[in-house]
């Protein structure tokens, strides 16, 4: 859909656990289609050290209620300020921005998310299920059980595998250690991944070794989110520096020259 | 409706609000948000003789009331612009101004000559003040004999309206403004970004891949205003004010300091509709004050 600048009303700003928050926002206008992988640039008011908007992944959309959900964690002064906002207040968004995950002729898909990177996986899982009749498998990585994000929402869409670094739930270790990725991966047609860059790089490596197409969603420092400032580039093998906010944030992982 | 039209060189602009180069893409990036044709002029992203990849990531660091960037003139070169971008953006019913860059005088002239042949390009902005490239850019803009040499040469390559964008990273910007006026520039635009740094105390590294970068945003506005005021009092050609303009009031301040037009830069990143809001805001301001024309404001600072 067309990008727009809009004040949305906060219906809820819910703290899920020690780290993560979900904002539920209501628009006065209807949404046309918001695609999985797209994000919003959120204006932060009243934080003297925050000048630019904050790019946040779109986590879920309810087209009947005209509401959308943003998942975030406190990463600095800007997101701290957003975490303090109350129901009834407005939040100014520029959205929906960026490209989206692509769906080819696939049967078995694995959606891998780490931390706030689980956000685009929920909306993608819903999209796969509703529009392509594909039941997604989620592989979600957290540091510990307490940080797991809205497990029921993911469970309602497909199979959920959990890894925790401390072993307090699911498989102990990182997502890349999980059997679904290491052993039972022969008939996976497509991997989608969003999370910390080392995780995405490692997942991309496994995908490449097993000839599984893989798309990752990059989270670069952005100035504008609309392709005007050219700050958020990623280096690619085929085109050199490309702009994450408009030519991404979703990329075929084989294109990327990882910087880490 | 107050009269917002201004004249710079051979061009009559419908209003004095322009976009600053490098903050507005080529225009289509903003089509979803605003009617780009309403803007007084669109200054497109800086263009060089051939394609440039720009600087490595990270290219940006947020600072108190501003940001540092080190994009380094990433662009696909003048030929790509002429063939692919120009035909698309002449749909806009406004002036398109090309921001001309180069590593050598020859490269500047080559880009300027190609712009000279484009019917809908009535002006170029000669960028001798980019702080983020190792060749050309600010090197030309911070050494007065080099400024004169490149401006002289480009003046001979381009017979339409020539604007020269000045660097604030000099001891006395007036000297540079007078020098380019002497070379036949039709206007000066100022300021480009101020050279700055941001360091990550945790990692002991610069937040920018090139260590230094250009500071923009409200943090630089007082410096920009002072320089516009100094230059406007020292040259006869029009001055285009740039630097941290976020809203109508900021723009009014630049007109009072002596600017005939303003460029809106970093503000586009936070509010993609800011240019239109400022055009409407200036009109309202003039009406409220009972002024019939923007010329009532230009240089009207009371001292």
Taken in order of first residue, the domains within chain A and their CATH numbers are 4-97 (2.40.30.10), 109-216 (3.40.50.80), 218-260 (2.10.240.10)
Is the Cβ pair A241, B270 closer than 8 Å? no
Token pair listed for B205: 């590294």
Token pair listed for A79: 């997101």
Give me the pLDDT at residue B129, please.
Answer: 87
Tens of pLDDT, residues A75-107? 999 999 999 999 999 999 999 999 999 999 999
Is the Cβ pair B23, A220 closer than 8 Å? no
* DSSP state, residue A66: T
Cα–Cα distances in angstroms (integers) from residue A132 to residues A23, A104, A128, A138, A161, in the given order: 28, 10, 5, 16, 21
The Cα–Cα gap between A148 and A143 comes to 9
pLDDT of A74 over the 90 cut:
yes
Task: Determine the distance in angstroms separating the CA of A48 from the nearest CA of chain B, rounded to an integer.
Answer: 7
The Cα–Cα gap between A184 and A161 comes to 13
Give me the pLDDT at residue B224, please.
Answer: 98
With beta carbons under 8 A apart, name residues in chain B contacting A232: 57, 59-60
Task: Determine the distance in angstroms separating the CA of A29 from the nearest CA of chain B, rounded to an integer.
Answer: 15
Cα pseudo-dihedral B48, B51, B52, B53, rounded to 10:
150
ipTM of the complex in this document: 0.95
Instruction: Give the residue-averaged pLDDT of A231-258.
Output: 97
The Cα–Cα gap between A45 and A48 comes to 8
With beta carbons under 8 A apart, name residues in chain B contacting A50: 62
Q: Which residues of chain B have pLDDT under 70?
A: none
Best of B36, B62, B276 to mutate (most A CBs within 10 Å, chain A): B62
pLDDT of A136 over the 90 cut:
yes
**Known catalytic residue: B183?**
no
With beta carbons under 8 A apart, name residues in chain B contacting A220: 57
pLDDT of A184 over the 90 cut:
no
Cβ burial of A130 (10 Å; 0-12, 13-18, 19+) is exposed
Cα pseudo-dihedral B227, B233, B236, B240, rounded to 10:
30
Closest-CA residue of B relative to A4 is B33
Domains in chain B with CATH codes: 6-296 (3.20.20.70)
């Amino acid at each position: 859909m067309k990008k727009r600048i809009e004040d949305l009303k906060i219906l809820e700003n819910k703290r899920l656990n020690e780290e993560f928050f979900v904002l539920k926002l209501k628009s006065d206008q209807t949404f046309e289609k918001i695609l999985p992988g797209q994000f919003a640039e959120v204006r932060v008011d009243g934080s003297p050290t925050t000048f630019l908007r904050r790019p946040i992944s779109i986590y879920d959309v309810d087209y009947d209620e005209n509401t959308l959900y943003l998942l975030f964690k406190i990463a600095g002064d800007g997101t701290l300020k957003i975490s303090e906002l109350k129901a009834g207040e407005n939040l100014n968004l520029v959205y929906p921005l960026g490209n989206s995950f692509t769906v080819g002729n696939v049967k078995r898909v694995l959606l891998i998310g780490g931390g706030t990177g689980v956000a685009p996986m929920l909306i993608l899982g819903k999209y796969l299920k509703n529009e392509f009749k594909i039941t997604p498998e989620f592989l979600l990585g957290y540091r510990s059980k307490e940080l797991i994000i809205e497990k029921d929402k993911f469970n309602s869409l497909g199979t959920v595998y959990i890894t925790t670094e401390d072993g307090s739930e699911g498989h102990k270790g990182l997502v890349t250690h999980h059997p679904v990725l290491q052993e039972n991966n022969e008939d996976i047609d497509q991997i989608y991944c969003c999370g910390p860059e080392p995780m995405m790089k490692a997942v991309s490596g496994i995908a490449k070794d097993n000839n599984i197409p893989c798309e990752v969603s990059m989270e670069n420092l952005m100035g504008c989110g609309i392709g005007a400032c050219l700050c958020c580039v990623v280096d690619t093998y085929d085109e050199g520096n490309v702009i994450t906010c408009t030519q991404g944030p979703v990329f075929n992982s084989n294109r990327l020259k990882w910087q880490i | 409706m107050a009269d917002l039209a201004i004249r710079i060189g051979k061009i009559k602009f419908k209003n004095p609000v322009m976009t600053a180069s490098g903050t507005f893409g080529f225009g289509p990036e903003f089509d979803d948000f605003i009617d780009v044709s309403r803007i007084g002029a669109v200054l497109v992203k800086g263009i060089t003789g051939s394609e440039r990849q720009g600087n490595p990531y990270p290219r940006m660091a947020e600072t108190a009331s501003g940001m540092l960037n080190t994009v380094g003139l990433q662009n696909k070169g003048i030929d790509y612009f002429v063939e692919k971008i120009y035909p698309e953006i002449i749909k806009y019913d406004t002036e398109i101004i090309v921001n001309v860059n180069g590593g050598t005088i020859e490269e500047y002239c080559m880009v300027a000559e190609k712009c000279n042949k484009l019917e809908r390009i009535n002006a170029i902005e000669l960028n001798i003040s980019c702080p983020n490239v190792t060749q050309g850019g600010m090197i030309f803009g911070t050494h007065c004999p080099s400024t004169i040499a490149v401006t002289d040469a480009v003046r001979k390559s381009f017979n339409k309206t020539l604007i020269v964008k000045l660097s604030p990273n000099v001891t006395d910007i007036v000297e540079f403004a007078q020098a380019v006026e002497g070379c036949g520039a039709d206007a000066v635009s100022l300021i480009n970004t101020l050279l700055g740094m941001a360091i990550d105390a945790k990692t002991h590294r610069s937040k920018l891949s090139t260590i230094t970068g250009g500071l923009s945003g409200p943090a630089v506005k007082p410096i920009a205003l002072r320089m516009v005021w100094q230059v406007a009092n020292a040259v006869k050609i029009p001055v285009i004010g740039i630097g941290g303009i976020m809203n109508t009031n900021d723009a009014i301040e630049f007109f009072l300091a002596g600017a005939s037009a303003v460029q809106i830069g970093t503000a586009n990143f936070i509010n993609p509709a800011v240019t239109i809001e400022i055009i409407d805001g200036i009109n309202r301001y003039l009406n409220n004050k009972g002024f019939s024309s923007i010329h009532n404001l230009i240089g009207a600072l009371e001292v």
